[in-house]
Amino acid sequence: MSRVSSCLAQAGFQVLGDTDSGIPGLRVTEVSAGALVSWTASDGFTALARDQAGRAPSNDSMKVIVQAAVAGLLVQLGHSVTETPDGGGLAVLAEAALPRGGKGS
């Protein structure tokens, strides 16, 4: 999990801790399969998206863009990434054990 957080922070994303609830940015949470990455928009952005003429009152399109950027970065760095079933975040799978003869042998 710390490796995922570190990669995102080094890429310029604001990564929040568990105690930063309600603060906009990316949150990386440890789960049994690895890590869960979720994004919270700021109230200002949500209000701006809602006020745009002819647009739905949601930030769903921005969430898709943020998730695509995060997933692309993590995949490029060798992580296995899938979207969560509810579409609310990304699951970053824990690294599998290295095969015999790989690094660390």
23-50 pLDDT, tens digit each? 888 999 888 889 999 988 777 776 766 6
Tokens of 51: 């006020």
Of 32, 50, 31, 40, the C-alpha closest to 13 is 40
Helix (H) or strand (E) holding 97, with range, is: none
Q: What is the mean pLDDT of the chain?
A: 78
Tokens of 66: 């943020």
For residues 69-94, give the mean pLDDT. Answer: 91
53-74 pLDDT, tens digit each? 555 545 577 788 889 999 999 9
pTM greater than the 0.85 cutoff: no
CA distance 62 to 65: 5
pLDDT at 50: 67
| The pLDDT of residue 100 is above 50 | no
